[in-house]
A = this chain, B = another copy of it.
Protein backbone atom coordinates (compact mmCIF):
# COMPACT_ATOMS: atom_id res chain seq x y z
CA UNK A 1 0.00 0.00 0.00
CA UNK A 2 1.11 3.53 -0.71
CA UNK A 3 1.78 5.84 2.21
CA UNK A 4 -1.21 7.98 1.33
CA UNK A 5 -3.52 4.96 1.43
CA UNK A 6 -2.16 3.97 4.82
CA UNK A 7 -2.92 7.49 6.09
CA UNK A 8 -6.50 7.23 4.80
CA UNK A 9 -6.89 3.81 6.34
CA UNK A 10 -5.68 5.13 9.69
CA UNK A 11 -8.24 7.93 9.64
CA UNK A 12 -11.08 5.58 8.68
CA UNK A 13 -10.17 3.08 11.37
CA UNK A 14 -9.69 5.60 14.18
CA UNK A 15 -12.92 7.40 13.28
CA UNK A 16 -14.76 4.08 13.34
CA UNK A 17 -13.27 3.24 16.74
CA UNK A 18 -14.15 6.67 18.11
CA UNK A 19 -17.75 6.31 16.95
CA UNK A 20 -17.81 2.74 18.28
CA UNK A 21 -18.84 1.63 14.76
CA UNK A 22 -18.42 -2.17 15.04
CA UNK A 23 -19.62 -2.81 11.50
CA UNK A 24 -17.05 -0.50 9.94
CA UNK A 25 -14.14 -1.94 11.96
CA UNK A 26 -15.12 -5.47 10.97
CA UNK A 27 -15.48 -4.39 7.34
CA UNK A 28 -11.97 -2.93 7.39
CA UNK A 29 -10.52 -6.17 8.76
CA UNK A 30 -12.49 -8.13 6.13
CA UNK A 31 -11.16 -6.13 3.19
CA UNK A 32 -7.67 -4.96 4.20
CA UNK A 33 -4.65 -7.19 4.97
CA UNK A 34 -3.67 -7.24 8.66
CA UNK A 35 -0.20 -5.89 8.07
CA UNK A 36 -1.55 -2.74 6.43
CA UNK A 37 -3.86 -2.17 9.42
CA UNK A 38 -0.94 -2.72 11.79
CA UNK A 39 1.09 -0.13 9.89
CA UNK A 40 -1.83 2.31 10.03
CA UNK A 41 -1.95 2.09 13.82
CA UNK A 42 1.82 1.90 14.39
CA UNK A 43 1.84 5.26 16.22
CA UNK A 44 -1.25 4.49 18.30
CA UNK A 45 -0.31 3.90 21.92
CA UNK A 46 -3.75 4.49 23.39
CA UNK A 47 -4.56 1.10 24.87
CA UNK A 48 -8.33 1.71 24.80
CA UNK A 49 -8.35 2.11 21.03
CA UNK A 50 -6.32 -1.08 20.56
CA UNK A 51 -8.46 -3.03 23.03
CA UNK A 52 -11.64 -1.96 21.26
CA UNK A 53 -10.29 -3.29 18.00
CA UNK A 54 -9.35 -6.61 19.60
CA UNK A 55 -12.80 -6.97 21.15
CA UNK A 56 -14.63 -6.29 17.90
CA UNK A 57 -12.77 -8.46 15.41
CA UNK A 58 -12.91 -12.25 15.50
CA UNK A 59 -10.21 -14.27 17.20
CA UNK A 60 -8.45 -15.43 14.07
CA UNK A 61 -7.96 -11.88 12.75
CA UNK A 62 -6.98 -10.79 16.25
CA UNK A 63 -4.14 -13.32 16.51
CA UNK A 64 -2.70 -12.37 13.10
CA UNK A 65 -3.08 -8.67 13.85
CA UNK A 66 -1.35 -9.11 17.22
CA UNK A 67 1.63 -10.77 15.55
CA UNK A 68 2.07 -7.71 13.28
CA UNK A 69 2.05 -5.09 16.10
CA UNK A 70 5.18 -3.53 17.59
CA UNK A 71 6.49 -5.06 20.81
CA UNK A 72 5.52 -1.93 22.77
CA UNK A 73 1.95 -2.32 21.59
CA UNK A 74 2.01 -6.06 22.30
CA UNK A 75 3.11 -5.28 25.85
CA UNK A 76 0.26 -2.76 26.31
CA UNK A 77 -2.29 -5.30 25.08
CA UNK A 78 -1.03 -8.17 27.21
CA UNK A 79 -1.04 -5.98 30.30
CA UNK A 80 -4.62 -4.87 29.63
CA UNK A 81 -5.93 -8.36 28.80
CA UNK A 82 -7.55 -10.62 31.36
CA UNK A 83 -6.09 -14.15 31.60
CA UNK A 84 -9.12 -15.47 29.71
CA UNK A 85 -8.59 -13.03 26.83
CA UNK A 86 -4.90 -13.85 26.72
CA UNK A 87 -5.61 -17.59 26.52
CA UNK A 88 -8.02 -17.02 23.62
CA UNK A 89 -5.40 -15.02 21.77
CA UNK A 90 -2.71 -17.63 22.37
CA UNK A 91 -4.96 -20.46 21.25
CA UNK A 92 -5.49 -18.75 17.91
CA UNK A 93 -1.76 -18.09 17.43
CA UNK A 94 1.02 -20.28 16.07
CA UNK A 95 3.82 -21.34 18.42
CA UNK A 96 6.48 -19.68 16.27
CA UNK A 97 4.65 -16.32 16.26
CA UNK A 98 4.35 -16.44 20.05
CA UNK A 99 8.02 -17.33 20.35
CA UNK A 100 8.96 -14.37 18.12
CA UNK A 101 6.80 -12.01 20.19
CA UNK A 102 8.17 -13.31 23.49
CA UNK A 103 11.79 -12.76 22.49
CA UNK A 104 11.14 -9.00 22.32
CA UNK A 105 9.13 -8.66 25.55
CA UNK A 106 10.34 -7.93 29.12
CA UNK A 107 10.72 -10.90 31.46
CA UNK A 108 7.67 -10.26 33.66
CA UNK A 109 5.40 -10.20 30.60
CA UNK A 110 7.01 -13.36 29.25
CA UNK A 111 6.33 -15.12 32.54
CA UNK A 112 2.68 -14.12 32.47
CA UNK A 113 2.29 -15.33 28.89
CA UNK A 114 3.96 -18.68 29.62
CA UNK A 115 1.88 -19.09 32.80
CA UNK A 116 -1.44 -18.83 31.00
CA UNK A 117 -0.25 -20.81 27.95
CA UNK A 118 -1.95 -24.19 27.55
CA UNK A 119 0.57 -26.87 28.51
CA UNK A 120 1.19 -28.18 25.00
CA UNK A 121 1.75 -24.69 23.58
CA UNK A 122 4.10 -23.88 26.48
CA UNK A 123 6.20 -26.94 25.69
CA UNK A 124 6.37 -25.95 22.03
CA UNK A 125 7.37 -22.38 22.82
CA UNK A 126 10.00 -23.47 25.31
CA UNK A 127 11.44 -25.90 22.82
CA UNK A 128 11.64 -23.22 20.12
CA UNK A 129 13.26 -20.76 22.53
CA UNK A 130 16.06 -23.25 23.17
CA UNK A 131 17.45 -23.68 19.66
CA UNK A 132 20.56 -21.75 18.74
CA UNK A 133 20.03 -18.61 16.68
CA UNK A 134 20.14 -19.03 12.88
CA UNK A 135 19.60 -22.81 13.01
CA UNK A 136 16.70 -24.63 11.39
CA UNK A 137 15.38 -25.37 14.89
CA UNK A 138 15.08 -21.70 15.74
CA UNK A 139 12.89 -20.88 12.73
CA UNK A 140 10.79 -24.03 12.51
CA UNK A 141 7.26 -24.40 13.79
CA UNK A 142 5.97 -27.38 15.72
CA UNK A 143 2.44 -27.35 14.32
CA UNK A 144 2.34 -29.66 11.32
CA UNK A 145 0.45 -32.70 10.10
CA UNK A 146 2.17 -36.05 10.41
CA UNK A 147 0.55 -39.38 9.51
CA UNK A 148 1.51 -43.01 9.27
CA UNK A 149 2.16 -44.72 5.93
CA UNK A 150 -0.85 -47.03 6.17
CA UNK A 151 -3.44 -44.27 6.61
CA UNK A 152 -5.92 -44.18 3.72
CA UNK A 153 -6.53 -41.12 1.58
CA UNK A 154 -10.08 -40.93 2.90
CA UNK A 155 -8.99 -40.93 6.54
CA UNK A 156 -6.23 -38.46 5.81
CA UNK A 157 -8.67 -35.95 4.31
CA UNK A 158 -11.03 -36.47 7.22
CA UNK A 159 -8.21 -35.84 9.69
CA UNK A 160 -7.16 -32.67 7.88
CA UNK A 161 -10.75 -31.39 7.92
CA UNK A 162 -10.89 -31.92 11.68
CA UNK A 163 -7.42 -30.95 12.89
CA UNK A 164 -5.90 -29.02 9.99
CA UNK A 165 -6.82 -25.60 11.36
CA UNK A 166 -4.14 -25.88 14.04
CA UNK A 167 -1.33 -26.67 11.59
CA UNK A 168 0.81 -23.96 10.00
CA UNK A 169 0.31 -25.62 6.64
CA UNK A 170 -1.90 -28.44 5.38
CA UNK A 171 -0.38 -28.29 1.90
CA UNK A 172 2.33 -30.76 2.79
CA UNK A 173 1.61 -33.82 4.93
CA UNK A 174 4.59 -35.63 6.42
CA UNK A 175 4.51 -39.42 6.40
CA UNK A 176 6.33 -41.69 8.85
CA UNK A 177 6.77 -45.40 9.39
CA UNK A 178 6.13 -47.29 12.61
CA UNK A 179 9.49 -46.28 14.04
CA UNK A 180 8.55 -42.59 13.63
CA UNK A 181 11.14 -42.21 10.88
CA UNK A 182 10.19 -39.76 8.14
CA UNK A 183 9.66 -41.75 4.93
CA UNK A 184 7.83 -39.39 2.58
CA UNK A 185 5.64 -36.36 1.98
CA UNK A 186 2.22 -36.01 0.41
CA UNK A 187 1.13 -32.77 -1.20
CA UNK A 188 -2.45 -31.83 -0.51
CA UNK A 189 -3.26 -31.71 -4.21
CA UNK A 190 -2.01 -35.26 -4.70
CA UNK A 191 -4.25 -36.27 -1.82
CA UNK A 192 -7.22 -34.65 -3.51
CA UNK A 193 -6.45 -36.24 -6.87
CA UNK A 194 -5.95 -39.72 -5.33
CA UNK A 195 -8.47 -42.52 -4.91
CA UNK A 196 -10.08 -42.70 -1.49
CA UNK A 197 -8.91 -46.20 -0.60
CA UNK A 198 -5.26 -45.79 -1.49
CA UNK A 199 -2.72 -45.67 1.31
CA UNK A 200 -0.46 -42.67 1.81
CA UNK A 201 2.51 -44.95 1.04
CA UNK A 202 1.07 -45.45 -2.47
CA UNK A 203 0.96 -41.78 -3.36
CA UNK A 204 3.72 -40.19 -1.28
CA UNK A 205 6.86 -38.57 -2.73
CA UNK A 206 9.87 -40.58 -1.74
CA UNK A 207 12.29 -38.12 -3.33
CA UNK A 208 11.69 -35.52 -0.62
CA UNK A 209 14.46 -33.60 1.15
CA UNK A 210 14.65 -32.65 4.83
CA UNK A 211 17.06 -30.88 7.12
CA UNK A 212 18.46 -31.35 10.61
CA UNK A 213 17.49 -29.06 13.54
CA UNK A 214 21.08 -27.85 13.77
CA UNK A 215 21.49 -26.98 10.09
CA UNK A 216 22.29 -23.36 9.29
CA UNK A 217 19.19 -21.45 8.20
CA UNK A 218 21.05 -20.16 5.13
CA UNK A 219 21.54 -23.75 3.91
CA UNK A 220 17.87 -24.42 4.53
CA UNK A 221 16.93 -21.41 2.39
CA UNK A 222 19.18 -22.69 -0.39
CA UNK A 223 17.46 -26.08 -0.31
CA UNK A 224 14.05 -24.44 -0.62
CA UNK A 225 15.26 -22.57 -3.65
CA UNK A 226 16.98 -25.54 -5.25
CA UNK A 227 14.07 -27.92 -4.77
CA UNK A 228 11.21 -25.39 -5.21
CA UNK A 229 9.69 -26.37 -1.87
CA UNK A 230 6.84 -24.81 0.06
CA UNK A 231 7.45 -26.74 3.28
CA UNK A 232 10.25 -28.96 4.57
CA UNK A 233 10.53 -31.35 7.51
CA UNK A 234 13.10 -30.67 10.21
CA UNK A 235 14.42 -33.85 11.80
CA UNK A 236 16.53 -34.65 14.84
CA UNK A 237 19.65 -36.79 14.79
CA UNK A 238 17.53 -39.97 14.85
CA UNK A 239 15.80 -38.83 11.63
CA UNK A 240 12.52 -38.29 13.43
CA UNK A 241 10.51 -35.23 12.46
CA UNK A 242 10.40 -32.52 15.16
CA UNK A 243 9.09 -29.54 13.19
CA UNK A 244 8.65 -27.97 9.79
CA UNK A 245 9.79 -24.84 8.03
CA UNK A 246 7.49 -23.11 5.56
CA UNK A 247 8.37 -20.93 2.57
CA UNK A 248 7.19 -17.66 4.15
CA UNK A 249 9.87 -18.10 6.84
CA UNK A 250 12.42 -18.75 4.11
CA UNK A 251 11.67 -15.45 2.41
CA UNK A 252 12.53 -13.70 5.69
CA UNK A 253 15.68 -15.78 6.11
CA UNK A 254 16.89 -14.90 2.63
CA UNK A 255 16.45 -11.20 3.35
CA UNK A 256 18.25 -11.49 6.68
CA UNK A 257 21.18 -13.38 5.15
CA UNK A 258 21.44 -10.89 2.30
CA UNK A 259 21.62 -7.98 4.76
CA UNK A 260 24.33 -9.86 6.63
CA UNK A 261 26.40 -10.37 3.46
CA UNK A 262 25.99 -6.78 2.30
CA UNK A 263 26.94 -5.50 5.76
CA UNK A 264 30.08 -7.60 5.82
CA UNK A 265 31.20 -6.45 2.41
CA UNK A 266 30.81 -2.83 3.52
CA UNK A 267 32.68 -3.49 6.81
CA UNK A 268 29.71 -3.11 9.14
CA UNK A 269 29.44 -5.62 11.98
CA UNK A 270 25.77 -6.43 11.59
CA UNK A 271 22.71 -4.89 9.99
CA UNK A 272 19.91 -7.14 11.17
CA UNK A 273 18.02 -4.53 13.21
CA UNK A 274 15.98 -1.91 11.35
CA UNK A 275 18.03 1.30 11.08
CA UNK A 276 15.56 3.65 12.73
CA UNK A 277 15.14 1.32 15.70
CA UNK A 278 18.87 0.93 16.34
CA UNK A 279 20.14 3.32 19.04
CA UNK A 280 22.95 5.76 18.19
CA UNK A 281 25.53 4.03 20.39
CA UNK A 282 24.87 0.69 18.68
CA UNK A 283 25.36 2.20 15.23
CA UNK A 284 28.66 3.65 16.46
CA UNK A 285 29.76 0.24 17.77
CA UNK A 286 28.87 -1.42 14.46
CA UNK A 287 31.01 0.97 12.42
CA UNK A 288 33.88 2.35 14.46
CA UNK A 289 35.88 -0.84 15.11
CA UNK A 290 36.16 -1.42 11.36
CA UNK A 291 37.26 2.13 10.62
CA UNK A 292 39.99 1.81 13.24
CA UNK A 293 41.03 -1.70 12.19
CA UNK A 294 41.36 -0.60 8.57
CA UNK A 295 43.38 2.41 9.70
CA UNK A 296 45.80 0.13 11.52
CA UNK A 297 46.07 -2.12 8.45
CA UNK A 298 47.16 0.95 6.50
CA UNK A 299 50.43 0.98 8.42
CA UNK A 300 52.03 -0.85 5.49
CA UNK A 301 51.16 1.74 2.88
CA UNK A 302 52.17 4.50 5.29
CA UNK A 303 55.50 2.77 5.73
CA UNK A 304 56.09 2.60 1.98
CA UNK A 305 55.02 6.18 1.30
CA UNK A 306 57.20 7.39 4.13
CA UNK A 307 60.16 5.51 2.72
CA UNK A 308 59.89 7.59 -0.42
CA UNK A 309 59.52 10.95 1.29
CA UNK A 310 62.82 12.09 -0.15
CA UNK A 311 61.64 11.34 -3.70
CA UNK A 312 58.32 13.02 -3.02
CA UNK A 313 59.89 16.22 -1.77
CA UNK A 314 62.00 16.35 -4.92
CA UNK A 315 59.13 15.37 -7.31
CA UNK A 316 55.90 16.42 -5.54
CA UNK A 317 53.89 15.36 -8.58
CA UNK A 318 54.43 11.73 -7.48
CA UNK A 319 52.16 12.37 -4.48
CA UNK A 320 49.42 13.78 -6.69
CA UNK A 321 48.78 10.44 -8.39
CA UNK A 322 49.07 8.02 -5.46
CA UNK A 323 45.35 8.33 -4.52
CA UNK A 324 44.37 7.67 -8.14
CA UNK A 325 46.38 4.45 -8.24
CA UNK A 326 45.21 3.26 -4.84
CA UNK A 327 41.55 3.96 -5.61
CA UNK A 328 41.64 2.28 -9.01
CA UNK A 329 43.18 -0.82 -7.43
CA UNK A 330 40.64 -0.79 -4.61
CA UNK A 331 37.69 -0.43 -7.00
CA UNK A 332 38.92 -3.15 -9.29
CA UNK A 333 39.68 -5.59 -6.46
CA UNK A 334 36.27 -4.79 -4.97
CA UNK A 335 34.53 -5.66 -8.22
CA UNK A 336 36.19 -9.05 -8.45
CA UNK A 337 35.72 -9.90 -4.80
CA UNK A 338 32.04 -8.97 -4.97
CA UNK A 339 31.43 -11.18 -7.99
CA UNK A 340 33.26 -14.14 -6.52
CA UNK A 341 31.73 -13.84 -3.04
CA UNK A 342 28.24 -13.61 -4.54
CA UNK A 343 28.83 -16.62 -6.79
CA UNK A 344 30.20 -18.62 -3.87
CA UNK A 345 27.22 -17.74 -1.72
CA UNK A 346 24.85 -18.78 -4.53
CA UNK A 347 26.80 -22.06 -4.82
CA UNK A 348 27.58 -21.33 -8.47
CA UNK A 349 30.96 -22.88 -7.93
CA UNK A 350 33.00 -24.55 -5.25
CA UNK A 351 36.58 -24.71 -4.05
CA UNK A 352 37.56 -27.09 -6.84
CA UNK A 353 36.73 -24.45 -9.44
CA UNK A 354 39.49 -22.12 -8.24
CA UNK A 355 41.86 -22.67 -11.14
CA UNK A 356 39.08 -22.21 -13.67
CA UNK A 357 38.18 -18.91 -12.03
CA UNK A 358 41.77 -17.75 -11.67
CA UNK A 359 42.53 -18.41 -15.33
CA UNK A 360 39.43 -16.50 -16.38
CA UNK A 361 40.33 -13.61 -14.09
CA UNK A 362 43.86 -13.47 -15.44
CA UNK A 363 42.55 -12.91 -18.96
CA UNK A 364 39.92 -10.41 -17.79
CA UNK A 365 42.56 -8.57 -15.75
CA UNK A 366 45.06 -8.38 -18.60
CA UNK A 367 42.41 -6.88 -20.87
CA UNK A 368 41.18 -4.41 -18.27
CA UNK A 369 44.75 -3.53 -17.36
CA UNK A 370 45.54 -2.79 -20.99
CA UNK A 371 42.45 -0.66 -21.55
CA UNK A 372 42.86 1.25 -18.28
CA UNK A 373 46.57 1.86 -18.91
CA UNK A 374 45.96 3.26 -22.39
CA UNK A 375 43.13 5.44 -21.13
CA UNK A 376 45.11 6.67 -18.13
CA UNK A 377 48.06 7.60 -20.32
CA UNK A 378 45.84 9.83 -22.48
CA UNK A 379 43.92 11.22 -19.54
CA UNK A 380 47.06 12.20 -17.63
CA UNK A 381 48.61 13.83 -20.67
CA UNK A 382 45.39 15.84 -20.95
CA UNK A 383 45.39 16.78 -17.23
CA UNK A 384 48.98 17.92 -17.39
CA UNK A 385 48.73 19.76 -20.70
CA UNK A 386 45.70 21.84 -19.65
CA UNK A 387 47.30 22.64 -16.30
CA UNK A 388 45.03 20.63 -13.97
CA UNK A 389 48.25 19.18 -12.62
CA UNK A 390 51.23 21.36 -11.82
CA UNK A 391 54.16 19.73 -13.62
CA UNK A 392 56.87 22.15 -12.56
CA UNK A 393 58.62 19.55 -10.41
CA UNK A 394 59.28 17.31 -13.43
CA UNK A 395 59.78 19.86 -16.20
CA UNK A 396 63.04 18.89 -17.79
CA UNK A 397 65.42 21.38 -19.25
CA UNK A 398 65.32 22.22 -22.93
CA UNK A 399 68.25 20.05 -23.75
CA UNK A 400 66.28 16.82 -23.61
CA UNK A 401 64.27 17.56 -26.68
CA UNK A 402 61.48 15.06 -27.27
CA UNK A 403 61.58 13.10 -24.06
CA UNK A 404 59.41 15.26 -21.99
CA UNK A 405 58.74 14.86 -18.22
CA UNK A 406 55.01 14.64 -18.76
CA UNK A 407 55.39 11.59 -20.99
CA UNK A 408 57.47 9.92 -18.31
CA UNK A 409 54.92 10.53 -15.55
CA UNK A 410 52.05 9.34 -17.75
CA UNK A 411 54.05 6.21 -18.58
CA UNK A 412 54.78 5.64 -14.89
CA UNK A 413 51.13 5.88 -13.87
CA UNK A 414 49.89 3.85 -16.84
CA UNK A 415 52.32 0.99 -16.30
CA UNK A 416 51.63 0.98 -12.55
CA UNK A 417 47.90 0.77 -13.29
CA UNK A 418 48.46 -2.15 -15.65
CA UNK A 419 50.24 -4.10 -12.90
CA UNK A 420 47.72 -2.96 -10.27
CA UNK A 421 44.69 -4.08 -12.30
CA UNK A 422 46.15 -7.56 -12.68
CA UNK A 423 47.25 -7.90 -9.06
CA UNK A 424 43.99 -6.49 -7.69
CA UNK A 425 41.86 -8.94 -9.64
CA UNK A 426 44.08 -11.91 -8.83
CA UNK A 427 44.04 -11.03 -5.12
CA UNK A 428 40.33 -10.22 -5.29
CA UNK A 429 39.46 -13.61 -6.76
CA UNK A 430 41.84 -15.65 -4.61
CA UNK A 431 41.01 -14.28 -1.16
CA UNK A 432 37.39 -15.49 -1.09
CA UNK A 433 38.54 -19.03 -1.93
CA UNK A 434 41.25 -18.80 0.70
CA UNK A 435 38.68 -17.65 3.25
CA UNK A 436 36.48 -20.61 2.36
CA UNK A 437 39.42 -22.97 2.72
CA UNK A 438 40.06 -21.83 6.30
CA UNK A 439 36.31 -21.80 6.98
CA UNK A 440 35.88 -18.02 7.29
CA UNK A 441 32.99 -16.14 5.73
CA UNK A 442 34.35 -14.89 2.37
CA UNK A 443 32.33 -11.68 2.68
CA UNK A 444 33.92 -10.60 5.93
CA UNK A 445 37.59 -10.86 5.04
CA UNK A 446 37.48 -9.71 1.47
CA UNK A 447 36.72 -6.02 1.11
CA UNK A 448 39.31 -4.66 3.58
CA UNK A 449 41.97 -7.32 2.97
CA UNK A 450 41.84 -6.99 -0.78
CA UNK A 451 42.18 -3.22 -0.59
CA UNK A 452 45.07 -3.38 1.83
CA UNK A 453 47.08 -5.89 -0.18
CA UNK A 454 46.38 -4.06 -3.42
CA UNK A 455 47.41 -0.74 -1.83
CA UNK A 456 50.74 -2.16 -0.79
CA UNK A 457 51.49 -3.81 -4.11
CA UNK A 458 50.49 -0.81 -6.18
CA UNK A 459 52.52 1.64 -4.09
CA UNK A 460 55.58 -0.56 -4.28
CA UNK A 461 55.13 -0.96 -8.04
CA UNK A 462 54.72 2.77 -8.47
CA UNK A 463 57.84 3.76 -6.60
CA UNK A 464 59.93 0.88 -7.94
CA UNK A 465 59.17 1.77 -11.56
CA UNK A 466 60.07 5.33 -10.68
CA UNK A 467 63.25 4.82 -8.68
CA UNK A 468 64.61 1.81 -10.57
CA UNK A 469 63.70 2.53 -14.18
CA UNK A 470 62.37 5.95 -15.13
CA UNK A 471 64.30 8.14 -12.73
CA UNK A 472 67.80 6.65 -13.28
CA UNK A 473 67.22 6.39 -17.04
CA UNK A 474 65.95 9.85 -17.73
CA UNK A 475 66.00 12.20 -14.77
CA UNK A 476 69.10 11.67 -12.72
CA UNK A 477 71.24 12.23 -15.77
CA UNK A 478 70.03 15.75 -16.06
CA UNK A 479 69.55 16.53 -12.40
CA UNK A 480 72.78 15.29 -10.96
| Residues of chain A having any CB pair with chain B under 8 Å | 3, 29-35, 157, 160-161, 164-165, 170-171, 188-189, 192-193, 206-207, 209, 224-228, 230, 247-248, 250-252, 254-255, 258-259, 261-263, 265-268, 271, 274-276, 280-281, 283-284, 287-288, 290-292, 294-296, 298-299, 301-303, 305-307, 309-310, 312-314, 316-317, 319-324, 326-328, 331-332, 334-335, 337-340, 342-343, 346, 348-350, 352-353, 356-357, 360, 363-364, 367-368, 371-372, 375-376, 379, 383, 388-390, 392-393, 421, 451, 455
Contacts and interface: CB of A to CB of B under 8 A. Distances in A.
Contact of A266 (B250, B274, B317, B338): B338
16 contacts: A171-B171, A225-B252, A230-B247, A230-B248, A254-B255, A262-B342, A268-B335, A274-B348, A280-B364, A280-B367, A288-B367, A295-B372, A305-B323, A309-B320, A312-B313, A313-B316
Given A316-B309, A319-B322, A375-B295, A302 B389 contact: yes
Contact of A357 (B254, B259, B276, B317): B276
Contacts of A389: 302-303, 306
A319 B161 CA distance: 77
Instruction: State the majority secondary structure of interface residues on A.
Output: helix
A268 B161 contact: no
B266 A251 contact: no
A46 to B, nearest CB: 23
- Counted per complex, copies of this chain come to 2
Nearest to A250: B251
Contacts of A363: 280
Contact of A230 (B160, B230, B299, B455): B230
Given A171-B171, A254-B254, A290 B188 contact: no
A275 B160 contact: no
Contacts of A226: 33, 35
A305 B393 CA distance: 14
A381 to B, nearest CB: 13
B388 A299 contact: yes
A342 B302 contact: no
Given A298-B327, A338-B268, A364 B284 contact: yes
Contacts of A305: 319-320, 323
- What are the nearest 7 A-B pairs in CB distance? A319-B319, A266-B338, A313-B316, A309-B316, A312-B316, A275-B343, A228-B248
A402 B9 CA distance: 69
A245 to B, nearest CB: 13
Contacts of A30: 206-207
Given A226-B35, A254-B254, A323-B305, A265 B262 contact: yes
Contact of A393 (B230, B283, B313, B352): B313
A294 B371 contact: no
Contacts of A258: 258
Given A268-B335, A291-B335, A303-B388, 5 more contacts: A161-B192, A188-B188, A225-B252, A247-B247, A266-B334
Contact of A307 (B383, B390, B393): B390
Given A207-B32, A275-B339, A343-B274, A288 B372 contact: yes
Given A32-B207, A292-B375, A323-B323, A368 B302 contact: no
A33 B268 contact: no
B364 A283 contact: yes
Most buried by B among A251, A267, A276, A379: A251
Contacts of A390: 306-307, 309
B320 A306 contact: yes
Contact of A206 (B31, B379, B383): B31
Contact of A207 (B33, B312, B350, B455): B33
A45 B50 CA distance: 65
Contacts of A331: 267, 290-291, 294
Contacts of A324: 295, 298, 301-302
A372 to B, nearest CB: 6
